């Protein structure tokens, strides 16, 4: 594929951008530039590096509306969500600019007299970022801000389905005056990313994408002993106990399951609910879900996202039809929304009542599909919660889970028992904040322990160096003298 043409998924006759696939010669040049730039960028004091990022942050803020409109067209997400995504870049830059003066190490106590010991963090080298299409602006910032502040250089390889926002993200860094080669972008599909990952110039790899791609890239990175951070798929659940505030549940599940068209790694994909309240919740969800798309007018509401591609649209439908064939009861949706003019790739907000264990209750759909699993209320509340937690955790993923209850004991038991990197009490599975105490990432096959958007990101972008300073003027032998 030499040329990549990207269409607005909400209006597929509209071309949003065209890109050329980066050639191997171009990639080699970028990789060399990345290594050369690292030599000086890594030696610059971190607060000085922060000044460049502050300038870029101000440009993102000035151009927020323009960038949001482009993002809105590029991947179809509602304009309000697109504005939020650009705001996320600004917030992430604010946070990591502050961290420029706080990349702390450790000082310790030597076992010997007149000797000091400290451990500092240093940058590692050129990084390669491989990103998905669903957050094509914010996710590059989660990687770039800590990487740059820590003193690394990077090449971003955005998704071929939405490369423009990533391109603009890097362009603005360069407009802010970053030295040549510090921030670069390569375009193309998987093979471009793989070429960059395999290069000896590359010292850090950070992937946001699906589990199979993450596994493949991590294996290549492991051969070169490269630092590798993985942020992969999810199969997230919301547990609802009978005492929950059902208004809150309906609002939260609607946003969690259908926000961004269900195309978030944290999207609510399973509702595990006490049967006592499930009829009411499901009926209300069905009524509210219908508001995302007016079937009579053949029109999507402003807050409903299209599916990114025809291939993904077909994949979602195939998974839903397979679930129905396996015995799931279709409550609503379950079809491609088509006005006959091929305007956009829309899938009806779907609810399926399922028995736990059928494929759709275990696999990531990445679309607006909610599997409802009902729990038998003829058991004590603690046993019901245990059953819910078993179902929630019985998947290969571990990204985000939530529970709605007013019972503090049961709520806290769930918080501790969910096997996931993100957990919410009385809130939906999506909408992670960035910076500070908030760290984004998953357990199990969702990742390999790395975290983004909070201070733990420095674990990916720095390496430790322990320095011993002996001012005793004699040989002191550890563990002997
Ligand atoms: P994908 O895995 O198909 O692609 C992700 C990126 O990997 C793209 O840039 C693609 O070109 C690249 N790629 C593909 N093959 C490659 C190879 N062999 N070598 C190097 N790079 C390669 O994922 P997608 O469809 O773009 O995004 C959806 C997936 O991303 C979902 O599984 C979703 O859950 C996940 N996701 C995770 C997070 C998170 O932070 N955990 C955030 C957003 C999306």
CB 178 within 8 A of CB 159: no
Judge if the beta carbon of residue 366 lies within 6 A of ligand 1: yes
At residue 41, the pLDDT reads 98
- Tokens found for residue 91: 């917030």
Give domain status of residue 308, yes or no: yes
Rounded to a whole number of angstroms, the distance between the first and last alpha carbons of the chain is: 66
CB 352 within 8 A of CB 369: yes
- Tokens found for residue 468: 């011993």
The answer on 258 and 184 residing in a single domain is: no
Judge if the beta carbon of residue 213 lies within 6 A of ligand 1: yes
**Looking at 228, 265, 354, 434, which residue is catalytic?**
265
* DSSP annotation of 356: B
* Three-state DSSP state, 4: strand
The answer on 281 and 217 residing in a single domain is: no
The answer on 174 and 37 residing in a single domain is: yes
CA distances to 270, 362, 371 from 240, rounded to whole Å, are 11, 19, 13
Task: For residue 401, give its domain range.
Answer: 236-425
The answer on 89 and 225 residing in a single domain is: yes
Minimal-distance CA residue to ligand 1 atom 39: 231
The answer on 312 and 452 residing in a single domain is: no
* H or E, element range at 333: none
Assessment of whether the complete model's pTM goes beyond 0.75: yes
Phi and psi at residue 229, to the nearest 5°: -115, 130
Q: The domain spanning residue 418 has which CATH number? A: 3.40.309.10
Judge if the beta carbon of residue 116 lies within 6 A of ligand 1: no
At residue 242, the pLDDT reads 97
CB 324 within 8 A of CB 352: yes
Residue 183 CB burial class (10 angstroms; 0-12, 13-18, ≥19): buried
The answer on 194 and 48 residing in a single domain is: yes
Phi and psi at residue 183, to the nearest 5°: -130, 120
Judge if the beta carbon of residue 365 lies within 6 A of ligand 1: no
The answer on 334 and 460 residing in a single domain is: no
The answer on 215 and 246 residing in a single domain is: no
- Tokens found for residue 336: 């491609």
Phi and psi at residue 464, to the nearest 5°: -85, 145
Å from CA of 124 to ligand 1 middle: 24
* Mutation choice for ligand 1 from 27, 192, 209, CB with most ligand atoms inside 8 A: 209
Give domain status of residue 476, yes or no: no
The answer on 202 and 220 residing in a single domain is: yes
Number of compact structural domains in the chain: 2
At residue 297, the pLDDT reads 78
Task: Examine the residue annotation and report whether 265 is marked as an active-site residue of this protein.
Answer: yes
Give domain status of residue 265, yes or no: yes
The answer on 397 and 262 residing in a single domain is: yes
User: Mean pLDDT for each consecutive 10-residue tract of the chain (481 residues)?
Assistant: 89 95 98 98 98 98 98 96 97 96 95 97 98 98 98 98 98 98 98 98 98 98 98 98 98 97 98 98 97 84 94 97 98 87 88 97 98 96 97 98 98 98 98 86 97 95 98 96 91
Å from CA of 385 to ligand 1 middle: 33
Atom of ligand 1 nearest to the CA of 212: 2
The answer on 219 and 248 residing in a single domain is: no
Judge if the beta carbon of residue 74 lies within 6 A of ligand 1: no
* Three-state DSSP state, 177: coil
The answer on 249 and 224 residing in a single domain is: no
* DSSP annotation of 371: E
At residue 339, the pLDDT reads 62
């Amino acid at each position: 594929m030499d040329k990549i043409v990207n269409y607005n998924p909400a209006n597929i006759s509209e071309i949003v951008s065209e890109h050329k696939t980066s050639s191997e010669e171009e990639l080699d040049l970028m990789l060399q530039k990345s290594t050369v730039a690292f030599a000086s960028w890594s030696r610059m004091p971190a607060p000085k590096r922060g000044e460049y990022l502050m300038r870029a942050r101000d440009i993102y803020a000035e151009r927020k509306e323009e960038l949001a409109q482009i993002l809105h067209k590029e991947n179809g997400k509602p304009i309000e969500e697109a504005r939020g995504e650009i705001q996320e870049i600004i917030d992430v830059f604010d946070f990591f600019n502050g961290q420029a003066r706080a990349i702390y190490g450790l000082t310790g106590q030597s076992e010997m007299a007149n000797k000091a010991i400290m451990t500092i963090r240093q940058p590692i080298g050129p990084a390669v970022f491989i990103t998905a299409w669903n957050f094509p602006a914010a996710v590059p910032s989660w990687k770039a801000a800590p990487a740059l502040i820590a003193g690394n250089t990077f090449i971003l390889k955005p998704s071929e389905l939405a490369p423009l926002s990533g391109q603009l993200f890097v362009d603005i860094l360069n407009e802010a005056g970053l030295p040549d080669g510090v921030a670069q972008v390569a375009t193309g599909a998987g093979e471009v990313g793989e070429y960059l990952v395999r290069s000896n110039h590359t010292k850090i790899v950070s992937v946001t994408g699906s589990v199979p791609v993450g596994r493949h890239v991590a294996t290549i990175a492991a051969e070169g002993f490269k630092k590798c951070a993985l942020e992969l798929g999810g199969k997230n659940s919301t547990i609802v106990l009978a005492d929950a505030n059902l208004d809150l549940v309906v609002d939260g599940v609607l946003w969690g399951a259908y926000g961004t068209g269900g195309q978030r790694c944290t999207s609510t994909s399973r509702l595990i609910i006490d049967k006592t309240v499930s009829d009411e919740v499901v009926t209300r969800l069905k009524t509210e879900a219908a508001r995302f798309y007016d079937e009579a007018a053949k029109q999507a509401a402003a807050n409903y996202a299209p599916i990114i591609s025809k291939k993904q649209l077909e994949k979602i439908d195939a998974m839903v039809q397979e679930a129905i064939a396996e015995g799931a009861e279709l409550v609503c949706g379950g079809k491609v929304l088509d006005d006959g003019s091929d305007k956009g790739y829309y899938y009806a907000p779907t609810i399926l009542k399922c028995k736990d264990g059928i494929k759709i209750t275990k696999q990531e759909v990445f679309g607006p599909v909610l599997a409802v699993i009902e729990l038998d209320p003829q058991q004590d509340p603690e046993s019901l919660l245990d059953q819910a937690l078993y179902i929630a955790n019985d998947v290969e993923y571990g990204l985000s889970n939530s529970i709605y209850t007013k019972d503090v004991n049961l709520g806290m038991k769930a918080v501790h028992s969910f096997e996931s990197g993100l957990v919410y009490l009385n809130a939906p599975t999506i909408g992670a904040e960035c910076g500070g105490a908030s760290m984004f990432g998953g357990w199990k096959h969702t990742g390999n322990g790395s975290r983004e958007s909070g201070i733990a990101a420095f674990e990916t972008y720095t390496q430790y160096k322990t320095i011993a300073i002996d001012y005793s003027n004699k040989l002191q032998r550890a563990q002997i003298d």
